[in-house]
Amino acid sequence: MFLPILQIESEELPKRAIVCGDPRRAKYIADRLDNARELAFSREYRIFVGEKDGVELAVVSHGVGSPGAAVCFEELIKGGVTELIRVGTAGSLTAELPTGSLVVSIASGREEGLTRQLVPIGYPAVADSEITDLLYRFANESGAKVGKGITVSFDAFFSGVEELPHKKYQKAGVIAVEMEIAALFVVASLRGARAGAIVAIDGFADADLATEYNPHNDTVSQAVDREIDAAIQAMVALGRKA
């Protein structure tokens, strides 16, 4: 089956995929695999396949924001991918998780618009428990400070006339904010796939905690390396169990 947006044949895809926002990060992840090769690069969707310890993996970039990312997730699952892990960055909502920490999402608030057009507002965006447990285990083994809890997905990155609802979610115990996890969890649930997510904290989303935002530093880079390693290890563990 030809996947017209990703611009690949479904037969080229393995059962497991690590997804990320940045096409450059997709290559960075793929470089950690054995026999990695690039299949396609269409719009924001850059696709590699390779293997690690005998387990075949795809690495696919999905761009920024839930609508475009959901297109990627839909086509991957339509193409036969059954397990997906998102790696990326997020803003912390708690002083307990400073820059350089890792967060494993167990569920996501749906403050983006995409999933509201797919399911009722009461439908939860929930991670697969086995994938979550594996990510949390390997993240802790990396030596990073690790949090596990509820995240929230927004569409807006910069505030406008309306204030972004950071405080509301902070009071509810949500620990980090990003832009695509809700779409991943909902699409995976709807289409019969399993999904998890791990993100590196690159600053504080809450204005009372935040200083100048600069995600391009060694602390964030080290956290990204650790989350990538955790995601690959989790995928290998899933593949060996299958």
CA distances from 191 to 113, 185, 186, 208 (A): 19, 10, 9, 39
Instruction: Give pLDDT tens digits for 123-140.
Output: 999 999 999 999 999 999
Instruction: Give pLDDT tens digits for 12-68.
Output: 999 999 999 999 999 999 999 999 999 999 999 999 999 999 999 999 999 999 999
With tokens 């609802």, the residue in question is 165
Q: What is the pLDDT of residue 213?
A: 75
The CA distance from 39 to 67, in Å, is 23
Residue 211: pLDDT above 70? no
Q: What is the pLDDT of residue 215?
A: 82
- Range of lowest pLDDT (32-36, 154-158, 195-199): 154-158
Superfamily of domain covering 2-241: Nucleoside phosphorylase domain (3.40.50.1580)
List of residues 6+ apart from 149 with CB closer than 8 A: 103, 105, 106, 173, 174, 175
Among residues of the chain, what percentage have pLDDT more than 90? Answer: 91
Q: What is the pLDDT of residue 163?
A: 87
Q: What is the pLDDT of residue 242?
A: 75
Residue 212: pLDDT above 80? no
Active site residue 202: yes
Catalytic residue from among 22, 31, 155, 202: 202
Residue 210: pLDDT above 70? no
Q: What is the pLDDT of residue 67?
A: 97
List of residues 6+ apart from 18 with CB closer than 8 A: 29, 57, 58, 59, 60, 84, 85, 86, 87, 228, 231, 232, 235
Q: What is the pLDDT of residue 202?
A: 95
Name the average pLDDT for the chain.
96
- Average the pLDDT over 163-189 and give the result: 96
- Range of lowest pLDDT (29-43, 175-189, 213-227): 213-227
- Average the pLDDT over 198-207 and give the result: 90
